[in-house]
Amino acid sequence: MRRAKRCQNVCVPISQVNLIFDSRTVWRDLTIWLRSYVNMKHGGLGDEEAIKEKINKVLRQSIHIFSTVFGEEYADEYVNLINEIVRYLGLLIQAQIIRNANMEKESKEKLQEIPEETGTLLARVNPYWEKEQWIELFSLYNQRIIEQSTALLNRDDKEDIYVFDRLLSLSSRIGDYYSRGILDYLMYTGRSIDGK
């Protein structure tokens, strides 16, 4: 009750409420479309260009949210890192399919490096995010995607379902942390996103 009384005088504009909601759900949407991409690459089912366009649409939404809150100067760096995850995921899947162990190893190593770079950027941009937390979340995310690709490669449907369920739960954790950091940043810095 004490917390509710303290927060009664806080007014969050509807534009910020919508932005916070969208910042949370973008991670789940990305996970769902990356699953479609991984399935399409392994099974050849689906329209690759249409799936890539959906992934790009989700990424554009993510970049819009990011640049609206933190400005254009950081948005390019952020989008490059997120695009690297998608790029190396594609290379990893290709390597698994053609059984190229060196290419698979290089892709996995790169997917393990990106969380450090992303965590550094996000902690630099927003003091309400911790670098170590982002490294942990993105490392787990990339690992789960690798596990999903491996399950599909091995035609292990039960493992694929299990991993996807864990990916959805993880995407919710990431979305919660991401949106909470944006909310804290907007509330405690007094930054406004009027009409955006």
pLDDT digits (tens, 9 = 90+) for 13-33: 666 777 787 888 999 999 999
Contacts 24+ apart (CB under 8 A), 90-99: 90/37, 90/41, 92/146, 92/149, 93/38, 93/41, 93/42, 93/149, 94/41, 96/149, 96/150, 96/153, 97/41, 97/42, 97/153
> pLDDT tens for residues 112-128?
899 999 999 999 999 99
Rounded to two decimals, the pTM is 0.84
Please, are residues 26 and 175 in contact by the beta-carbon 8 Å criterion? yes
What secondary structure letter does DSSP report for 127?
T
**From CA 14, how far away is CA 30, in angstroms rounded?**
24
